């Protein structure tokens, strides 16, 4: 496989040792590594590289990227297998991890959940988080006056609240209560660069048999249990109390019942009104969040 690109007459970076790749990752972020690769060949539309002895293509030209991602997408459906569905049954079955026919079936089932109409129904939930964010900024200026804020942290909390509301059907105010369980779980999920997380990632990527033997998964069991608990309790509450709310939980419930389909642009005011009324009356969400 070392002469893979040479035979195709495609410019390529010489393969590096596993230690050299590991060093580049540990001494800088993945983003920086990819940035250096991107800038190394400014005149090439694409070039090849090796991840150990495995060849890969680095695309630089927007036209080529568009062709692969849209027109010829059926030929490039599989992602590299980072998680084993048999080992990590929860996150190993995410859409971005699945391959082959299983991926095609899941994508077809979920496609109706991401239409323009259904995304527009969620705008009210995003808008509520935005008003909550604006009120926080106003209160801070009134209370503390001019001061310096870490905007990355501020917008991380805002993003967390939007995801919590739109994807999981719960309400939290991470700007005022950064100790809530959903925000803390999100921080653990995004902690990719700690030594512990890096060790797990490299073990799963390079020695999957060892990872399976020692039951090493990227996300710990506590986070998985909280993740599953939030979804199952939310669904149970909605089924019991006949709650309708325009978020991903509702769409998943429709998918489970075989009722998920595209709706017309003229969605009835009654269905939207019921969802808005629920989101206003249940300011703490359908399940309580614990610190």
Cα 286 → chain centroid = 22
208's enclosing H/E stretch is: helix 208-213
Cβ pair 248, 200 in contact under 8 A: no
**Cα dihedral angle (27, 29, 35, 37), rounded to 10 degrees?**
50
Give the pair of three-digit tokens for residue 250.
């509702």
pLDDT value of residue 268: 37
pLDDT value of residue 264: 47
**Cα dihedral angle (228, 260, 169, 133), rounded to 10 degrees?**
130
The closest of 37, 74, 86 to 57, measured between CA atoms, is 37
For residues 271 and 277, give the distance between their C-alpha atoms in angstroms, rounded to a whole number: 10
The closest of 161, 290, 169 to 239, measured between CA atoms, is 169
For residues 180 and 276, give the distance between their C-alpha atoms in angstroms, rounded to a whole number: 24
Helix/strand/coil percent split, the chain, to 5:
60, 5, 35
Cβ pair 56, 50 in contact under 8 A: yes
Q: What are phi and psi of 18, to 5 degrees?
A: -60, -35
Helices (H), 116-194: 116-121, 123-144, 151-168, 181-189
Q: Taking the domains of the chain in order of start, what are their residue ranges?
A: 1-76, 113-281
pLDDT value of residue 135: 94
Give DSSP secondary structure letters for 9-71. Answer: T--BPPP--HHHHHHHHHTS-HHHHHHHHHHH-TT-SEEEEEETTEEEEEE--HHHHHIIIII
pLDDT value of residue 289: 46
Give the pair of three-digit tokens for residue 145.
């006056």
pLDDT value of residue 161: 92
In the CATH scheme, what architecture does the domain 113-281 have?
Answer: Orthogonal Bundle (1.10)
Consecutive 10-residue averages of pLDDT for the chain (291 residues)? 83 73 62 85 91 84 91 79 71 77 81 81 90 92 84 90 87 87 77 70 78 78 78 86 84 78 46 40 40 40
pTM: predicted TM-score of the whole model, two decimal places:
0.65
Q: What are phi and psi of 192, to 5 degrees?
A: -85, -15
């Amino acid at each position: 496989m070392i002469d893979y690109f040479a035979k195709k007459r495609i410019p390529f970076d010489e393969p590096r040792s596993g230690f050299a790749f590991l060093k580049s990752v540990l001494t800088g972020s993945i983003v920086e590594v990819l940035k250096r690769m991107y800038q190394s060949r400014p005149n090439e539309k694409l070039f090849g590289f090796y991840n150990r002895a495995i060849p890969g293509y680095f695309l630089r030209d927007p036209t080529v990227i568009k062709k692969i991602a849209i027109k010829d997408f059926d030929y490039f459906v599989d992602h590299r297998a980072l998680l084993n569905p048999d080992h990590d049954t929860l996150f190993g079955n995410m859409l971005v991890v699945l391959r082959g026919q299983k991926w095609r079936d899941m994508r077809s089932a979920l496609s109706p959940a991401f239409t323009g109409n259904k995304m527009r129904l969620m705008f009210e939930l995003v808008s509520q988080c935005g008003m909550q964010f604006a009120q926080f900024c106003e209160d801070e200026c009134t209370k503390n006056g001019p001061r310096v804020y870490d905007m990355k942290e501020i917008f991380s909390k805002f993003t967390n609240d939007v995801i919590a509301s739109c994807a999981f059907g719960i309400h939290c105010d991470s700007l005022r209560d950064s100790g809530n369980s959903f925000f803390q779980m999100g921080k653990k999920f995004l902690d990719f660069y700690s030594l512990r997380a890096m060790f797990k990632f490299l073990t799963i990527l390079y020695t999957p048999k060892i990872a399976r033997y020692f039951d090493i998964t990227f996300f710990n069991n506590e986070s998985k249990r909280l993740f599953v608990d939030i979804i199952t309790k939310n669904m149970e509450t909605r089924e019991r109390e006949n709650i309708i709310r325009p978020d991903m939980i509702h769409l998943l419930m429709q998918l489970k019942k075989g009722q998920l389909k595209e709706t017309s642009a003229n969605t009835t005011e009654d269905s939207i009104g019921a969802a808005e009324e629920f989101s206003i009356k249940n300011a703490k969400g359908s399940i309580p969040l614990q610190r």
